[in-house]
Structure 1
Amino acid sequence: MLCLEHVTVSLRQEPLVEDLCLAIGPGEIVTLMGPSGCGKSTLLAWICGTLTDDFDARGRIRLASHDLTARPPEQRGLGMLFQDDLLFPHLSVGDNIAFGIPQAERGRRRRRTIVAEALESVGLGGFADRDPRTLSGGQRLRVSLSRVLVSAPRALLLDEPFSALDTELRAEIRSLVFSRARSQGLPVLLVTHDPEDARAAEGPVLRPWKTATSENALDSVE
């Protein structure tokens, strides 16, 4: 379970989110909805340990029995998907995915097998040698998802990763991401401004932003 306990994030002493508490169980998707600029990405940056010194943040992050609050990003066990796929242009598709494989997975053959199975699982079997620049937006996001999942995260953060896709492809990729997260029992925190994302997540929806009209109100999407 991923838990946020009494989280307050402020910019120049003005709270963006205040005293936020939530718990996300294995395979559950919790959505935080809000308009652009309300602090959605800022909150995720604090959770994954990359928040800049311009912001002040207080509270506690727990994953299972572990307190992550003071840990460096690489020791938090969190996977994150962004709006941009962030693939390395100088690496092949396979090498992009291999970048996420934990160092404990040793041996070239073993790592190639992990890459091949990851690509197959997202419908991109045989794409390992492709240049990422030759892929469509949906294919690039599939590769990005594969890279995150091979890193064996214990929870998943989604920073509006579907927003750049057209409507039909958005629904397809969204379904893929959600189904993979559920099948692996990952707690998922999604931030978005799109009600369709929240409906598809089929989980609790929270609008905790100080700029929102329904502050700190947990409800369902109509």
Structure 2
Amino acid sequence: MTAPSLEFNRVHIALHGRTLLELDARVAPGEVLTVMGPSGSGKSTLLAYAAGFLAPAFQASGQVLLGGQDITTLPAERRGIGLLFQDPLLFPHLSVAGNLRFGLPRATPDKAARVETALADIGLAGFGARDPATLSGGQQSRVALMRLLLSAPKAVLLDEPFSKLDTALRHEMRQLVFGRLRDADLPSLLVTHDSEDARDAGGQMIELS
């Protein structure tokens, strides 16, 4: 089956009658579209519109298409979109393995084996029983990424996911995240204010004023 593309068709978002952003763009499978801009420029608003949780205060029009299907009117949970945020947002009441199991579709066979393979794949073999709070920031980010991938999304939205990592870790995590998204043929939208993020993403970039 052909991997889907993510398209923004004449998307227009305004607040109190003032235009925040306008976007026409297509993100091919395995590519990352980076939207850069300072705080208040509308980056996170665009992400919220694509994900399906835009606040009612905003006025928005235009289509978000995934694999040619208009998902703009679908509820967030039916859009097939995965999200990575600034914080890993791991569930504190679940073990590392429990967090990964949560990402797996309900009908997945042999979840325990899938989880063990996934942990080994991100260099965390044997960490399944650990409390997420005992992991380093980089390790938590790896678990969050793998939980996202195990959920089998059709597209991914990235909300400054590297901004809270140490400088030394950021490049390594960018390489890991963007590499995995490419390998999975996932079209992705990255919002950031960091030009290094955009450079490592390697795709098209749109700068908001």
TM-score w.r.t. structure 1 length?
Answer: 0.90
**1:4 aligned to 2:8?**
yes
**1:133 aligned to 2:133?**
yes
1:108-127 alignment, distance < 5 Å: 110-127=110-127
Question: Offset at 1:65?
Answer: 2.4
Partner Cα separation in structure 1 for residue 64 and residue 27 of structure 2: 12
Larger deviation, residues 32-41 vs 145-154: 32-41
- Counterpart in the other structure of 1:100: 103
Q: Percent identity?
A: 54
- Counterpart in the other structure of 1:76: 79
The one-character-per-residue Cα deviations of 1:49-89 (angstroms, maximum 9, x if unpaired) are 01121211111011112111111111111111000111111
Q: Residue 145 of structure 2 aligns to which amino acid in structure 1? A: L
Structure 1 regions of 5+ residues with no counterpart?
Answer: 213-222
Question: Offset at 1:6?
Answer: 0.5
- Counterpart in the other structure of 1:220: none
Q: Residue 20 of structure 2 aligns to which amino acid in structure 1? A: L
Secondary structure in 1 matching 2:144: helix
- Counterpart in the other structure of 2:41: 38
The one-character-per-residue Cα deviations of 1:146-202 (angstroms, maximum 9, x if unpaired) are 110000011111100000011110011110000000011111111110111111111
Question: Offset at 1:123?
Answer: 1.1
Question: Offset at 1:104?
Answer: 2.3
The one-character-per-residue Cα deviations of 1:16-59 (angstroms, maximum 9, x if unpaired) are 112x1000001111111101221211110110101121211111
- Counterpart in the other structure of 2:92: 89
The one-character-per-residue Cα deviations of 1:104-152 (angstroms, maximum 9, x if unpaired) are 215xxx1111211221111111111100000111111111101100000
- Counterpart in the other structure of 1:17: 21
Partner Cα separation in structure 1 for residue 29 and residue 8 of structure 2: 15
- Counterpart in the other structure of 1:144: 144
- Counterpart in the other structure of 1:216: none
Secondary structure in 1 matching 2:8: strand
Structure 2 regions of 5+ residues with no counterpart?
Answer: none
Secondary structure in 2 matching 1:96: helix
Aligned CA RMSD, in angstroms, stands at: 1.0
Secondary structure in 2 matching 1:190: strand
Larger deviation, residues 163-172 vs 113-122: 113-122
Q: Residue 57 of structure 1 aligns to which amino acid in structure 2? A: A
Partner Cα separation in structure 2 for residue 41 and residue 115 of structure 1: 31
Secondary structure in 1 matching 2:114: helix
Q: Residue 96 of structure 1 aligns to which amino acid in structure 2? A: N
Question: Offset at 1:13?
Answer: 1.5
Moved over 6 A (4+): none
Number of residue pairs aligned between Structure 1 and Structure 2: 205
Secondary structure in 2 matching 1:4: strand
Question: Offset at 1:100?
Answer: 1.2
